[in-house]
Amino acid sequence: MKNIFIHFCLSLIHLLSLADGDCSAPTESQSTGVADSRLEIGEHVKPVVSSHPSFVFRAEDREPAVIKAAGGFLPYSDMPPHNPESYGLYKHFMDESVDGKRGKLDTIYVSTTKRFNIAAAFAKGKNPKNAWVYHIHTTPNMVDVMPSLPSVDYMVQREHEIAAIAGIPWTQVKGWVRIPENYHAINIFADLFDDPDNADFTDASKLYEASPNYDPKFDAYKASGPQPQLAGLVEGRWEGQFDKPWIDLKNRSVAIEAIEFMKINGAAVGWRNFSPLFSSKQDPPKSNNSWKAEEDRCLE
């Protein structure tokens, strides 16, 4: 997400400039208008702040018909990933684990955020003319990135990321908002939202469209919260100091930790193994690599 974050910062500067540098909350007289789509969307949305949220938001430049045809949201990489470090949250967040042959990210995670305004700014940074924010009900395969890592830096804190392991089925999407070109993301870094769990995003604005394909079975689930065993720290590459519980996890396989986690928490999204979640149900291909052979044994 690092590259996206750069676009996000540039987008934020641009959006704030459109607001004439005014980062204050809307006045009572402003909030009664409907012409400013900033108010229509932002005024009533109270993004979740819990580590176990019921709802999260996904920034996209693909329209709903495209996401539906794909079956939902999948990780950018091939599944299973080619690099054992790609099972770790550290490599995912830093965008460092890249499949050299295909030149794309190698990760088992799909990024979402607890904050609607952050998702809106990310979407605008991707494609200002075709920006979408998807409202998604969480499931136990989703983990809170910030408390899962031992050193919380500025980027980790501000993105409020919840990462979904293996993917997000289309039937998990509650609805979406197409972000207008004149949308202004104000107070993007302010902790203004005290609602611990986003109770009803449907009433956020007239721009919200509920998905007819949402499966209410997901109402019973929430995210799993912090998972330090999935940090996937690399000796000599981490800026912070190793502390408990991470110091006890340094020599353990993050690939095996991810498999064990999904054995317990993957049923809600139909997970069986790290082959693509929405296509082939076949077992992942065998490998002569020692880490991959160990992974295969865990699934037997």
Query: For the chain, what are the domain ranges?
Result: 2-23+40-299
pLDDT at 258 over 60: yes
Instruction: Give the mean pLDDT of 214-239.
Output: 82
* Residue 218 clears pLDDT 60, i.e. is over it: yes
- Cα 175 to Cα 188: distance, rounded to the nearest angstrom: 22
**Do the beta carbons of residue 268 and residue 125 sit within 8 Å?**
no
Specify the range with the lowest mean pLDDT, choosing from 81-85, 118-122, 259-263: 81-85
- How far apart (Å, rounded) are the C-alpha atoms in residues 42 and 118? 11
Which tops the pLDDT comparison, 15 or 209?
Answer: 209
Greater pLDDT, 81 or 103: 81
| 3-state secondary structure at position 103 | coil
Task: Output the six-digit token pair for 167.
Answer: 């993917």
Q: What is the rounded distance in angstroms from the CA atom of residue 184 to the CA atom of residue 117?
A: 9
Q: Which two three-digit tokens encode residue 254?
A: 């993050």
**Tens of pLDDT along 147-157?**
888 765 545 56
Per-residue pLDDT tens for 141-197? 999 988 888 765 545 566 789 999 999 999 999 999 998 888 765 443 334 333 334
Q: Are 127 and 121 in contact (CB under 8 A)?
A: no
pLDDT digits (tens, 9 = 90+) for 85-114: 888 887 787 666 555 555 567 789 999 998
Q: Give the span between the Cα atoms of 244 and 226, in whole angstroms.
A: 14
Look over the chain and give the mean of its residue pLDDT values, rounded to a whole number.
69
Residues 139/209, Cβ–Cβ less than 8 Å:
no
Homologous superfamily (CATH) for 2-23+40-299? Heat-Labile Enterotoxin, subunit A (3.90.210.10)
**Residues near 26 by beta carbon (within 8 Å), at least 6 away in sequence:** 38, 39, 43
Closest CA relative to residue 221, chosen from 49, 56, 44: 56
d(CA 198, CA 298): 37
Query: What percent of the chain is predicted at pLDDT more than 90?
Result: 30
Does 297 score more than 80 pLDDT?
A: no
Is pTM, for the whole model, over 0.85? no
The H or E element that residue 131 is part of is strand 131-137
| Residue 291 pLDDT greater than 60, yes or no | no
Average pLDDT, integer, range 68-95: 83
Neighbours of 298 (CB within 10 A): 15
Top pLDDT among 287 and 265 is at: 265
Beta-bridge partners for 234? none
**How many whole angstroms separate alpha carbon 39 and alpha carbon 33?**
8
Asked if the bond preceding 80 is cis, omega within 30° of 0, the reply is: yes
Q: What confidence tens digit (pLDDT) does each residue in 267-280 have?
A: 999 998 887 777 63
